């Protein structure tokens, strides 16, 4: 057969199943954690503790320790929430959309991308609670039966937001676990300790690798993948509704849902690139996470950047053509107001810097793609905070205009959430296979078939 090699540039040329499985699972089962891991883990644990301390302080002293004020009632927690949920968008998308479109390069990265989704969405889910004045009553957003006959107020986007986060998180967990089952069986079979055999054995749910198992698994997995795509779109569309379903200039825009979804994929892919580089280096997976992965993801980032440019352009154009003085005033404020330097920096990060990736040489350089990804994630965070600041700082009545000044706690909680994310990823790297072994095996199988 002369079909092109689907695994070209994705697997080592002479790889065998045994080598593949060993490359990935030895990290979990055979080798002690290295010095770098230990240092990173200690740092991440410290930051996690700091986050816990900040949250405790927030609960004791109240939301007033943050920089939110009478005009700018939303601040860092909401921006962090939107940013994290955006990052959480990419994992399931990579897994599901690339599976359905039969992209072979998905195999090495889908596992940690899914894990990233679960962690990011979980962290994102904390923020709306942290930002509440009375976080103890967050459960009032759920339609639970109660003696007061009170239900959530269904017209509010926040209720649907809450529902969509929970649905997305639950779904992502199921999808992730389903993809994990064959690898759990592999780990069970390779385990040398009784505890390993029992724990991985339980998680493997009795997987024996029979053809019927594989056939059922594949069917369910693809069905769930098809279900996942609408959720990927809905979760960030509904987050966009928090802003769009309002009366404020700069928020009340029909473009917001698609614009948020594109932004989410954009920043999510950025985060996947960063994590891929770290895992590749840290776990020595140069063999399976290759230059081709980065080149492909570079193209997607470039496409995302163009999508963002289109969104910004549409936003400006419709503000201009609407003739609404409030919208025009908002547009003027974006470019000349108190936050104009940040806004221009955001445009630079999200629109200008990714244009580097037009160059093939840049796409093939892992360092360049990672640098672009880091920059665009900073840009995306700026975008999230500026959506809030620009609208709330410059409202209809001039008398109530004023800026937001972040406090130390705002920054510490943001940093703490990054530390907590790192902590979770580091734990993941030690207890679960960082790449889907069975998917890589399938890729190897396809290569052998095509030879």
Partner 1 sequence: MPPVSGPSLGRRQAALGLLASALTLTSCGEPAEEIIPYVEAPEGQVPGLPRRFATTLALNGYGRGVLATCFEGRPVKLEGNALHPASLGGTDAFTEAAILSLYDPDRSRTVRQEGRPASFEAFLSALKPRLAALEARGGAGLHLLTGHVTSPTLRRLIGRLRARFPAAQWHAEEPVDERNALAGAEAAFGQRLRARPRLESARVVLTLDADPLGPGPEQVAHARAFAARRQARRGREAPFLRLYAAEPLLTNTGAKADHRLALRPWEVRDLAIALAARLGAAVAEPDLPPAARRFLDALAADLQAHPGEAVALAGPWAPPELHALVHWINVRLGAPVDYLPAPEPALPLAPLAEALRDGSLDTLLILGANPAYDAPADLGFGEALGKSRALTIHLGPWRDETAMLCRWHLPERHPLEDWADHLAPDGTASIAQPLITPLHGGHSAATVLGLLGGRDGLDAHAALRETWMEAWGEAAFEPLWRQALHDGVVAGSAAVPVLPPAPALPDLPPAPLPPGLALLLRPDPMLWDGRFANNPWLQECPKPLTRQVWGNALLLAPAEARARALRDGDLVRLRLGGRELTAPVMLQPGMAEGVAALHLGGGRQRAGAIGDGIGANAYALRQDAARWMLPGLELEASGEQAELLRPQEAHKLEGESTRLLPTLSLEEFAARAAMPPAEQPQPASLFPAVGGQAGAAWAMVIDTTLCIGCNACVLACRAENNVPVVGPEEVAARRDMHWLRIDTYHLGESEQDPRPGFQPVPCMHCETAPCEPVCPVAASVHDAEGLNVQVYNRCIGTRFCQGNCPYKVRRFNFHGYADGQEYANQGDPLVAAQRNPEVTVRGRGVMEKCTYCTQRISAARRAAAREGREIADGEVQTACQSACPAQAISFGDLKKPGSAVSALRREPQHYALLEELNTRPRTTYLAQARNANPALEDEA
Instruction: List residues near partner 1 by CB under 8 A.
Output: 61-64, 67-74, 128, 131-135, 137-138, 140-141, 150-153, 155-159, 162, 242, 245-248, 325, 392, 395-402, 405
Q: Which residues of 323-356 are buried (b: 16+ CB within 10 A; e: fewer)?
A: eeebbebbbebbeebbbeebbeebbebbbebbeb
CB of 65 to partner 1, least distance (A): 8
CB of 72 to partner 1, least distance (A): 8
CA angle 181, 183, 186 (to 5 degrees): 120
Kind plus residue range of the DSSP H or E element containing 442: helix 437-450
Cβ distance to partner 1 smaller for residue 242 or 253: 242
Cβ distance to partner 1 smaller for residue 30 or 332: 332
Cβ distance to partner 1 smaller for residue 4 or 398: 398
CA angle 241, 243, 248 (to 5 degrees): 135
CB of 333 to partner 1, least distance (A): 13
CB of 344 to partner 1, least distance (A): 25
Cβ distance to partner 1 smaller for residue 4 or 136: 136
Cβ distance to partner 1 smaller for residue 290 or 391: 391
3-state SS assignment for residue 46: helix
CB of 314 to partner 1, least distance (A): 23
Cβ distance to partner 1 smaller for residue 242 or 439: 242
The pair of structure tokens assigned to 134 is 């009375």
CB of 68 to partner 1, least distance (A): 7
Rounded to whole angstroms, the Cα distance separating 139 from 134 reads 11
CB of 179 closer than 8 Å to CB of 436: yes
Cβ distance to partner 1 smaller for residue 15 or 238: 238
CB of 412 to partner 1, least distance (A): 17
CB of 380 closer than 8 Å to CB of 263: yes
CB of 92 closer than 8 Å to CB of 389: no
Name 21's Cβ contacts closer than 8 Å, sequence gap at least 6: 186, 190, 437, 441
Cβ distance to partner 1 smaller for residue 133 or 313: 133
The pair of structure tokens assigned to 180 is 């994990």
Name 296's Cβ contacts closer than 8 Å, sequence gap at least 6: 103, 105
CB of 1 to partner 1, least distance (A): 58
Task: Quote the DSSP letter at residue 147.
Answer: T
């Amino acid at each position: 057969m002369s079909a092109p090699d689907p695994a070209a540039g994705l697997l080592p040329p002479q790889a065998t199943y045994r080598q593949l499985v060993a490359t990935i699972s030895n990290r979990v089962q055979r080798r002690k954690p290295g010095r770098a891991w230990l240092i990173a883990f200690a740092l991440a644990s410290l930051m996690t503790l700091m986050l816990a301390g900040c949250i405790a302080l927030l609960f004791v002293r109240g939301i007033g320790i943050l920089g939110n004020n009478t005009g700018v009632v939303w601040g860092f927690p909401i921006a962090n929430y939107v940013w994290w949920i955006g990052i959480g968008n990419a994992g399931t998308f990579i897994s599901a959309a690339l599976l359905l479109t039969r992209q072979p390069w998905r195999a090495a990265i889908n596992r940690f991308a899914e894990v990233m989704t679960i962690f990011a969405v979980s962290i994102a889910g904390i923020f709306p609670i942290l930002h509440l004045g009375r976080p103890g009553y967050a459960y009032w957003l759920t339609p639970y039966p109660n003696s007061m006959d009170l239900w959530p107020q269904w017209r509010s986007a926040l209720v649907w937001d809450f529902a969509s986060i929970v649905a997305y998180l639950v779904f992502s967990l199921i999808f992730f676990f389903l993809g994990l089952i064959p690898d759990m069986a592999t780990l069970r079979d390779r385990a040398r300790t009784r505890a390993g055999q029992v724990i991985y054995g339980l998680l493997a749910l009795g997987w024996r690798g029979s053809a019927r198992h594989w056939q059922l698994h594949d069917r369910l997995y693809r069905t769930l993948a098809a279900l996942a795509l609408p959720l990927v779109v809905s979760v960030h569309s509904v987050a966009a509704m928090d802003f769009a379903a309002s009366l404020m200039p700069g928020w009340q825009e029909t473009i917001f849902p698609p614009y948020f979804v594109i932004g989410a994929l954009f920043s999510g892919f950025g985060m996947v690139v960063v994590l891929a580089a770290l895992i590749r280096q840290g776990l020595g997976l140069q063999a399976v996470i290759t230059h081709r992965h980065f080149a492909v993801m570079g193209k997607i980032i470039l496409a995302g950047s163009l999508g963002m440019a289109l969104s910004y352009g549409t936003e400006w154009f419709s503000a201009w053509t609407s003739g609404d003085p409030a919208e025009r005033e908002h547009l003027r404020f974006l470019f000349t107001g108190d936050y104009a330097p940040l806004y221009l920096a955001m445009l630079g990060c999200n629109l200008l810097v990714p244009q580097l990736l037009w160059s093939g040489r840049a796409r093939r350089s892992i360092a360049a793609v990672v640098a672009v990804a880091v920059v665009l994630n900073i840009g995306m965070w700026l975008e999230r905070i500026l959506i809030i600041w620009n609208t709330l700082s410059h409202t209809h009545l001039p008398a109530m205009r004023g800026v937001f000044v972040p406090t130390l706690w705002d920054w510490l909680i943001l940093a703490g959430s990054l530390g907590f994310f790192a902590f979770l990823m580091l734990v993941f790297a030690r207890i679960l296979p960082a790449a889907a072994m069975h998917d890589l095996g399938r890729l190897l199988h396809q290569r052998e078939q095509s030879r």
